[in-house]
Amino acid sequence: MSERILLSSPHMGGGEQKYINEAFETNWIAPLGTNVDGFENELAEYVGIQGAAAVSAGTAAIDLALNLLGVGAGDTVFCSSLTFIASANPIVYRGAKPVFIDSEWDTWNMSPQALERAFEDSASEGKLPKAVIIVNLYGQSAKMDELMEICNRYDVAVVEDAAESLGSTYKGKKSGTFGKYGIYSFNGNKIITTSGGGMLVSDDLEALKHARFLATQARDTAKHYQHSVIGYNYRLSNVLAGIGRGQLEVLDERVAQKRAIFERYLEVLSKVDGVSLMPELEDTFSNRWLSALQLDPEKVNISPYDLIDALNEENIEARPVWKPLHLQPVFEGCKFYAHGEDEVVSEILFERGICLPSDSKMTMEQQQEVIDVLIKNLEC
């Protein structure tokens, strides 16, 4: 059997080792050191924001953001439904309740119409959410102008979950820099990786200082170990931050590779009746972290799961689009606002969607293998 063609795997650029070696040579292995400081400063400069705090995961960054916003027991937080569960888990960590917001067709991200209705209801009940978590799915920015206008009108802070969209832009501004806080993930499958890790970004430097304090077990300034508030073990190690610095040097190259992969899929699959790829909103630039498509069941004679199985039989990895969080058993009973009265976009995308191999190390020959299997099964 040929080498497995993967969805998205780590892709080292070659420069990471010098930063790792520096950490070992100086014996800065713990979550402190020049790599942590350098990674924070370099990423903040790249995305055009005042500061950043390197942490152990994107999930930890969301948890810290909600903590800084004072989210606690009895509060509600609005959150995109079509996303990985890590976007919403920190809401529960805080003791709050998630309210899920549907997608819309132009970006597959949070629907402004659904968000508006959710705010209208919460305002009429006299209990606005403490925050709104807006996710940029598969690298595509949400409709930030419309969403931010709604949130600003109600004076509710936004946490922009850009875990999948580092390197993307919306109207010339980097993804992750629109809300009060932005977060990125450096998990092994992301466009750049630190093995495991994340970043919290903001223009509020005092808030980031407090986030670092909380992330380092909230140790007070004292000769002895003293703690006045509960903290967390959320800081990123100096070794992993070194990997991140090397990865950041090749981020633009990775974005170009991911976009080239998407364009090759688009060139062929756009000619197949019943197949449509994830759109790119006008005036946005997606990093195309994952190339995703949807199948029209009235025009295509194969289901997404059968097509995924057919690819797997050829040692090719593909996966369904995220299952919406409002359908997850763990969130049963949570409120959900659909895009339209008779149109639940996230559910349709889940039923019809497939994420295709988008590995930046994938050769053109390997991608052609994927395309050949797709065409064979789509046109049968």
Annotated active-site positions, please?
Answer: 190
At which residue do the structure tokens 């889940």 appear? 350
Which residues does 294 contact at the CB level (< 8 Å), separation at least 6? Answer: 275, 276, 278, 321, 348, 349, 352, 353, 354
Strands 353-356 and 198-202 turn out to be unpaired
Q: Please count the helices (runs of H) and the strands (runs of E) in the chain.
A: 12, 15
CB 267 within 8 Å of CB 259: no
Alpha-carbon distance of 33 to 55, in angstroms, equals 13
DSSP readout, 93-124? HTT-EEEEE-B-TTTSSB-HHHHHHHHHHHHH
CB environment 137-151: b (16+ within 10 A), e (fewer): bbbbbbbbebbbebb
Strands 173-174 and 181-185 turn out to be unpaired
Alpha-carbon distance of 15 to 246, in angstroms, equals 5
Q: What are the Cα distances from residue 271, in Å, to 196, 265, 305, 354, 379?
A: 39, 10, 21, 17, 11
DSSP state of 304: H
Q: Report CA 245 to chain centroid distance, whole Å.
A: 19
CB 154 within 8 Å of CB 119: yes
